[in-house]
Amino acid sequence: MADIQVNGYVRVPKGTMVYPMGDGVGAPTTRAQVVKVAKIVDMGVKSDNFYLLLPDDMRLRYLEASGRKQPIDQDILDFTDRLTKGDYRAVQWSSKWALIAEVEPAEAPARARTSKTSGPVRTEPLTKLDQMVVGSVWRFTQDAELRYKVRNPDYANLRGDVESSLRQQPSHLRTQTVDAMLTERGVVDYLDEPWGKVKAGETFTVRSKLTSGLAGGQDIPMLFRGEKFTLPYASLEPVVELVTAP
C-alpha cells in the first residue's frame, strides 16, 4: 500500500466497510467510488483508535484491560490481524474512513486532473454529502418516511452513575470504558423517532452550512414546504438526488 498517500486518490470497492468519523456504526458501501485521501491514521493496538476496530464485546474487554494495564486477550489481537490483514492503518476522506487494506490506489478523476492543469475549475464533489452545499436543490426520488434523532433524557443520569463507579481510571480511558459499557447495555444519548412522510418529486433547498448531529452524523439545515427544518443526512441520503447546484 506504499502508493497510497495523503492528497492522493483511492478506489473504495463496492461492499467495503466504511465508517463515519467518531464512534458511528460502519456499513458496506453500495457502490464503488474514488475518493481523495485527507488523512492516513494509525489504528495500531497502542493508538487511541484501536478500539474502533472492535465489536462491542471485545471493545469492553480491551478497554478494561487497558485501564488496568493488563495484557490484551489474544483472541482480540487475532481478530484485528484478520480484519486489517496486518496493516493497522486507515484512510480518511470527507466524514468517513476505511481500513487501508480494503482500498486500492487510484488515478485522480479526470475532472480533478483538469483542474490542476487548467487552473481553478469547479468540479462536482464525489459524494452526496459533499454536494449538499448552501443553495443546492434536492429532489426526493421516492415516497419515504424520514426519521430524526432527539436527546435521550435518561442518558446523562446513567452516564454519570457509570462514570462515578470508574473514578480510579485515567480520564481518557474512563471515557472510552463508559462509552463501551453504555453501548453494551444498548443505551445511547439519542432516541430515533419518525419525523414524517415525504412524496417523490418534492424538493428542498440546503439553507445553511451542515451541522454536527447526534451519533456522529451530519445534519442538513433545509427549506422544505416553505418552512425551516434540520434533518439527518443519513435519513435523506438514500432517497434524494441533486437537482441543481448553486
Instruction: Give the mean pLDDT of 67-79.
Output: 87
Max Cα separation, the chain?
Answer: 61
Q: What is the pLDDT of residue 6?
A: 85
Residues 6+ apart with CB under 8 A from 60: 177, 180, 181, 184
Any domain includes 1:
no
Same domain for 230 and 137?
yes
Same domain for 163 and 223?
yes
Any domain includes 198:
yes
Same domain for 112 and 27?
yes
Residues 6+ apart with CB under 8 A from 189: 151, 152, 155, 156, 159, 214, 215
Question: In which band, very low, low, confident or very high, does the pLDDT at 2 lie, cut at 50, 70 and 90?
Answer: very low
Percent share of the chain, pLDDT over 90 = 17
Same domain for 187 and 132?
yes
Same domain for 38 and 88?
yes
pTM for the predicted model, two decimal places: 0.46
Which region among 19-28, 83-92, 98-107, 218-227 has the lowest average model confidence (pLDDT)? 19-28
Same domain for 113 and 136?
no
Q: What are the tens digits of pLDDT across the range 159-216?
A: 777 777 777 767 667 777 777 877 777 777 777 889 999 999 999 999 988 877 666 6
Q: Which of 86, 117, 148 is the last residue of a domain?
A: 117
Evaluate whether 58 touches 79 at the Cβ level (below 8 Å).
yes
Any domain includes 91:
yes
Same domain for 80 and 26?
yes
Same domain for 106 and 154?
no
How many Å separate Cα 172 from the centre of its chain?
A: 21
Total count of domains within the chain: 2
Instruction: Give the mean pLDDT of 107-128.
Output: 60
Evaluate whether 163 touches 139 at the Cβ level (below 8 Å).
no
C-alpha grid cell, residue 72: 490484551
Any domain includes 123:
no
Instruction: Give the mean pLDDT of 91-102.
Output: 88
Residue appearing with cell numbers 470497492: 13
Same domain for 98 and 149?
no
Instruction: Give the mean pLDDT of 214-229.
Output: 83
Rounded to the nearest 5 degrees, what angle is found at the Cα of 160, between the Cα atoms of 76 and 48?
35
CA distances from 143 to 6, 200, 239 (A): 40, 5, 8
Same domain for 152 and 89?
no
Evaluate whether 190 touches 150 at the Cβ level (below 8 Å).
yes
CA distances from 241 to 128, 139, 184, 188, 202 (A): 8, 5, 36, 31, 11
pLDDT at 121 over 50: no
Any domain includes 95:
yes
Same domain for 23 and 49?
yes
219 or 202, which is more confident? Answer: 202
190-198 and 104-106 beta bridge pairing: unpaired
Q: Which of 96, 117, 138 is the last residue of a domain?
A: 117
Any domain includes 92:
yes
Q: What is the pLDDT of residue 99?
A: 92
CA 18 to CA 50: how far, in whole Å?
16
Q: What are the tens digits of pLDDT across the range 150-162?
A: 877 777 777 777 7
Give burial (CB, 10 Å; 0-12/13-18/19+) of 221. Answer: middle
Full domain range(s) for residue 19: 9-117
Same domain for 240 and 133?
yes
Which region among 20-29, 36-45, 223-232 has the lowest average model confidence (pLDDT)? 20-29
CA 147 to CA 133: how far, in whole Å?
21
